[in-house]
């Protein structure tokens, strides 16, 4: 390994950079464990670290996988940006599940991408059958021909976030629920602000319909894609699906 590459890998590990996942693994001699570069464990001294090509090389050298970052499970997430009536959306999928449908213009976009990379693996621009299916179903939704999505999805989060996201999927098409009522439903009353934060952390906009949650007084409340986009989606659903 050249001096330049060594320095590059050291910076990636120090910064827990998910873009370097699957490019190498970090083997720690003092613990006998190997990690993804993005692992957020307390960083060991660099003198105790060896950078290896992949997990197989680390296992062959006698290291065992980190139980926090699960380096053997990293997989590439293919992403691309599509056009919709409410603006661009970035959709992402592994081979088996859709893991992202997000608005690239929102302030949290960088954090959402970092979350995807940390939980699944590195992202790469491209195309796949599952992304094409996602685009088709979103187009059908915007055309008023689809009420629900039958895509395989994977949306890991904290136990509380997953409870909130599961309830979001139960809100019927064309209906809304207040943040306060949602908090009661997930046994988090009066923690409606925490529910709002979980709503905002949803990485599968529209597919997990966080736009159906509104303020208690009937106002729209916030939305990652912007209030105008939220109003568009609610008006679209209130008109009902197109029948043929």
pLDDT in tens, 68-123: 888 887 678 999 999 999 999 999 998 889 999 999 999 999 999 988 887 787 88
Q: What are phi and psi of 119, to 5 degrees?
A: -90, -25
**189-244 pLDDT per residue, tens:** 777 788 989 999 999 999 999 999 998 877 888 898 999 999 999 999 998 766 54
Q: How far apart are CA 85 and CA 229, in angstroms?
A: 9
**10-45 pLDDT per residue, tens:** 998 998 887 787 789 999 999 999 998 888 888 999
Look at domain 3-73 and name its CATH class: alpha beta
Delimit the domains of the chain by residue range. Answer: 3-73, 77-239
Residues forming the active site: 210
| pTM exceeding 0.75 | no
3-state SS class at 48: helix
The pLDDT assigned to 74 comes to 66
Please give the share of the chain, as a percent, with pLDDT higher than 70. 98
CATH number of the domain located at residue range(s) 77-239 in this protein: 1.10.10.10
Specify the DSSP element, H or E, that contains 6. helix 3-14
Q: Which residues on neighbouring strands pair with residue 209, listed in sequence order?
A: none
Please tell me the chain's helix, strand, coil percentages from 3-state DSSP, rounded to the nearest 5. 40, 15, 45
CB 181 within 8 A of CB 212: no
């Amino acid at each position: 390994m050249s001096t330049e590459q060594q320095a590059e890998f050291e910076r990636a590990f120090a910064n827990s950079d998910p873009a370097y996942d699957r490019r190498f693994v970090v083997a720690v001699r003092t613990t006998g464990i190997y990690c993804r570069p993005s692992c957020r464990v307390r960083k060991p001294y660099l003198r105790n670290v060896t950078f290896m090509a992949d997990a197989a090389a680390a296992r062959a050298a006698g290291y065992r996988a980190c139980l926090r970052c699960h380096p053997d499970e990293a997989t590439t997430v293919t992403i691309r940006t599509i056009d919709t009536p409410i603006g661009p959306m970035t959709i992402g999928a592994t081979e088996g599940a859709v893991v992202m449908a997000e608005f690239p213009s929102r302030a949290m976009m960088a954090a959402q991408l970092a979350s995807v990379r940390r939980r699944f693996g590195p992202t790469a621009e491209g195309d796949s059958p599952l992304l094409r299916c996602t685009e088709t179903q979103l187009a059908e939704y915007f055309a008023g021909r689809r009420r629900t999505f039958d895509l395989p999805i994977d949306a890991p989060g904290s136990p509380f976030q997953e409870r909130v996201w599961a309830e979001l999927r139960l809100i019927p098409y064309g209906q809304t629920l207040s943040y306060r009522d949602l908090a009661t439903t997930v046994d988090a009353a009066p923690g409606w602000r925490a529910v709002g934060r979980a709503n905002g952390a949803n990485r599968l906009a529209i597919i997990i319909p966080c736009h159906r949650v509104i303020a208690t007084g009937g106002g729209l409340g916030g939305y990652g894609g912007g209030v105008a986009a939220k109003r568009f989606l609610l008006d679209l659903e209130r008109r009902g699906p197109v029948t043929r």
